[in-house]
Amino acid sequence: MLEARSLSIGYGKTPLGTGLNLSIKPGEILCLLGPNGCGKTTLFRTLMGLLPAIDGTVLLGGKPITAQTRAQIARTIAYVPQAHAPPFPFDALEVVLMGRTARLGAFAQPSALDRGLARAAMQQLGIGGLAPRDYSRLSGGQRQLVLIARALAQDTPLIVMDEPTASLDFGNQAQVLAQIETLARDANTNGRGVILSTHDPDQAFALNARVLLMHNGSVLADGPAAEVLSGENLSTVYGLNITVETTASGRRVCLPSLRQSAPDR
């Protein structure tokens, strides 16, 4: 579905990350983890063809992304940003309907079918009642669900999410994570591929995700969360002592130590 080979990313000729390799298939959740400044957002922009790679190749559907038009890319990848401020006070339904743009011809207007699909996406996420409301006046969690509905209405096999739970309260984080898992495991579509970034390794455990752990501009480890997110790896990446423990319910959680000296990074 999407593959990066020996990718070097950055701005101009200055690399922020080198030798990056990744791939994702339908029904898989790939979680990017790493400290601030490690290049997660830059990697996303490169994977979507918004930023040219310094070196290496990005393949979308087996073809170089540089050989595809923006419309072709938009019919394969939907993007959910971590924040979105519309220039005008759109209704929530209008924001979701923007996801249908990739399916419309030049100067075409959304059809009744497009509107029906947008409403169906909102109903699927449990936010149908928000359709007529001013998007700019919704809560952070509600806006994030509207953006996910927009990606759903775009009807792509792959969704990229840049810190989709940033600035959300605990309840809204749980709701968004539940919807991410539903999108990936949806039997009606044979599952979508989902790539997301987060600062919380516990979310990768909760999603049973594959993890790409970034450190100093390269990939430190790539594999199932249970294997990659060890105390040793996390301590190396984040510069403080971290242990991974299993709760009585069987869930794994990461516990940073705030009193011990940080290991060498």
For the segment 176-229, what is each residue's pLDDT rounded down to a tens digit?
888 888 888 775 666 789 999 998 999 999 999 999 999 888 889 999 999 999
Band the pLDDT of 82: cuts 50, 70, 90. confident
143: nearest Cα among 167, 159, 124, 119: 167
Averaged pLDDT for residues 126-140: 91
CB contact at 8 A, 10 and 17:
yes
pLDDT for the residue 188 = 61
State the first-to-last Cα distance of the chain, in angstroms, to the nearest integer: 34
Amino acid of residue 234? L
pLDDT at 103 over 90: no
- Distance in angstroms (rounded) separating the CA atoms of residues 164 and 158: 15
Helix (H) or strand (E) segment spanning residue 32: strand 29-33
Pairing of strands 29-33, 193-198: parallel
pLDDT at 92 over 90: yes
User: 243: which 2 tokens?
Assistant: 């242990």
All structural domains of the chain with their residue ranges: 1-76+158-223, 84-155
pLDDT for the residue 173 = 85
pLDDT at 157 over 60: yes
Band the pLDDT of 31: cuts 50, 70, 90. very high
pLDDT for the residue 106 = 65
pLDDT at 126 over 60: yes
Cα radius of gyration rounded to whole Å, the chain: 19
Which DSSP state fits 243?
E
pLDDT at 159 over 70: yes
Average pLDDT score, the chain:
88
Band the pLDDT of 26: cuts 50, 70, 90. confident
Pairing of strands 193-198, 210-215: unpaired
Averaged pLDDT for residues 218-246: 92
* Helix (H), strand (E), coil (C) string for 179-231: HHHHHHHCHHHCCCEEEEEECCHHHHHHCCCEEEEEECCEEEEEEEHHHHCCH
- Distance in angstroms (rounded) separating the CA atoms of residues 148 and 150: 5
Averaged pLDDT for residues 22-40: 89
pLDDT for the residue 128 = 94
Amino acid of residue 106? A
Max alpha carbon distance in the chain (Å)?
Answer: 61
pLDDT for the residue 262 = 52
Does domain 1-76+158-223 fall under CATH 3.30.360.10? My reply is: no
Those residues with Cβ within 8 angstroms of residue 99's Cβ, 6 or more apart along the chain or in another chain: 78, 118, 121, 149, 150, 151, 152, 153, 154, 155
Amino acid of residue 20? L
Pairing of strands 158-162, 77-80: parallel
- Distance in angstroms (rounded) separating the CA atoms of residues 189 and 202: 27
Averaged pLDDT for residues 249-257: 88
169: nearest Cα among 138, 141, 200, 148: 141
Comparing 2-6, 74-78, 144-148, 259-263, the range with the smallest average pLDDT is 259-263
Comparing 25-34, 66-75, 88-97, 107-116, the range with the smallest average pLDDT is 107-116
Band the pLDDT of 47: cuts 50, 70, 90. very high
pLDDT at 260 over 70: no
- Distance in angstroms (rounded) separating the CA atoms of residues 178 and 227: 22
Higher pLDDT, 16 or 94: 94
pLDDT at 263 over 90: no
